Structure 1
Amino acid sequence: MITVPLSPRKKFYSVCGDSYIASSHVTWLKRQGIKIVPIPYTTKNPKYYMSKVNGLYFPSGGAFALNSKEYYKICKEFVRLAMKENDKGNYFPIWGGCMGMQQLVIIADEQDNLDTLLTQFDSFNNLLLNLDITENGRKSKMFRNATPEFMKTLEIVSTNKDRQGKTFVSTIEGRFYPFYGVQWHPERDDTMDYF
């Protein structure tokens, strides 16, 4: 799991230092028996960490490509290395949650457009929405094995609209690589352990 940058102006800087991982992410993965290796976003040796892990998790947090280019660059390097592993036949997934999905989207665009690729939406302060899954989404690796009961329980129905009615992408899945991103927070509720 890549750590999230924390600037000296932030509340918990004196406790956490220059980066952190929210406990909700760690707890969610540990419930599934997944061991966590914190990867400092400042690492100068991503290949070392690639040799120690079998997947990557880009968590949510307060660092965006626009305000933390160093974080974006390390995420991009890890995506490049994960693609190489998959190209060699080694299954190497990436999960991006919220901010992590945003990093994946900018990286996938291949233009390094940190300033204007992503658009702002009126979804702050816990806007709760059902997912509107596309027809392709129902066949995706992420959702194809979900039972009808699970789908009904979640009312998963994955684009969404913000408070102003503006549509945004809320779930992505790589076409050629096992890379997944969600613009929502399954780590905050144990009923989302399916994911």
Structure 2
Amino acid sequence: MSLLRPIVVLALSAVCMGYAATVITAPSSNNRPIIGVLSQELSRSLENEWGELNYTSFIAASYVKFLESAGARVVPIKINREMSYYTDVINSINGLLIPGGANFYNTSGYGLAGEILYNLAIDLNNQGDYFPIWGTCLGFELLIYLMAGKDDPRIVCDAWDKADPLDFEIGFNKSKIFSPAPSSVVDILATEPVTANFHRWCVTKELLTEANIVNDIDILATSVDHEGLRYVAAFESKTYPFFAVQFHPEKPAYEWNIREKNIPHTANSIHVSSYFAEFFVNEARKSTHQFPTLEKERSSLIYNYAPTYTGAANKTYDQCYFFTD
């Protein structure tokens, strides 16, 4: 492929050509995709600053912008709700993004809601109803945890505030994520420090083997932490349209805090991040779910909430959506 060919053309042409065969059959393209983003409890730093306002959960605005940049709308998914809420929302949206965060164990609303949504997505796909999931950082770890039957396969590591290239695995170019990628994206990822890593837990190939899920996923790339530990950086399910990366593709374009020094903001890092956004939104286009009424759709969208500028307080996120319900 030409290095100069626009990424959006390549991403759209990839939809037309189709990805590698999967168990699930994807329907025709939906040009009005809506993706749910899972909320979570306030982090300690956010709680210290905004906890007195009775906020119960939040979503970093960078995830919303990431998806909107590729042509999707966003619905915030609340935590600590009844099963009927999650069933209704997953049957109304076209994909799920599970963002990074702090904790996913069953004491967290994020973890409980994530498990419910994961199981609902499994059921949908088993019925031939195409429904993709994207996991970023803690979302990556949550998917691994659930695939392993809630037997945590992670190990403590130090990959905080670290920008890295990806070390691709053999066969990565046949994967759903990377087979449509232009050579410019692959070359940048393989040679430049364009992935923003902010995690203190890692999953290695050996741990995935011990967890008996290494045959359920395709490991696509690895990276190395500050101490030289090699960990899995990207994978996709062999059976379901589930994709995950340990790094943060939303940060290069949308997070500018000066406390963390190694978020890449180069033109190439933005080019790569845009590819990941377009890839997942194109996956969501394969879902034909819709809200039962236009009124319900409109009342569910993130547009009903105003983001708060949190970056001025030197927090991790420049903007956040806060929720009280």
- In the other structure, the counterpart of 2:93 is 53
Distance 1:37 1:122 in 2: 33
Normalised to the residue count of structure 1, the TM-score between the two structures is 0.89
Q: Is the counterpart of residue 5 in structure 1 residue 41 in structure 2?
A: yes
Alpha-carbon contact 2:233-2:245 (below 8 Å) kept: yes
Q: Which amino acid aligns with 1:149?
A: S
- In the other structure, the counterpart of 2:69 is 31
Greater relative contact order structure (CA < 8 Å, 6+ sep): 2
Which residues of 2 match residues 1-195 of structure 1 at below 5 A? 1-6=37-42, 9-14=47-52, 17-44=55-82, 45-62=85-102, 64-66=103-105, 68-110=107-149, 112-114=150-152, 117-124=153-160, 126-155=161-190, 158-189=221-252, 190-191=270-271, 192-195=273-276
- Sort the Cα spacing of 1:176 and 1:183 in 2 relative to 1 into closer, same or farther, 3 A: same
Distance 1:142 1:180 in 2: 8
Distance 1:148 1:107 in 2: 33
1:114-173 Cα shifts (integer Å, max 9, x gaps): 5xx21111111x111111111132211001111212211233691111111111111110
1:15-46 Cα shifts (integer Å, max 9, x gaps): 57121111111111011111101010212121
SS in 2 for 1:21: strand
Distance 1:16 1:67 in 2: 22
Q: Which amino acid aligns with 1:118?
A: R
Figure out how many residues of one structure are paired with residues of the other and give that number.
190
Q: Which amino acid aligns with 1:105?
A: I
Q: Which amino acid aligns with 2:131?
A: F
Alpha-carbon contact 2:165-2:190 (below 8 Å) kept: yes
- Sort the Cα spacing of 1:156 and 1:57 in 2 relative to 1 into closer, same or farther, 3 A: farther
SS in 2 for 1:12: helix
Q: Which amino acid aligns with 1:32?
A: A
Structure with more strand by fraction: 2
**Once the 2 structures are TM-superposed, how far is the Cα of residue 83 of structure 1 from its aligned partner?**
1.0
**Once the 2 structures are TM-superposed, how far is the Cα of residue 84 of structure 1 from its aligned partner?**
1.1
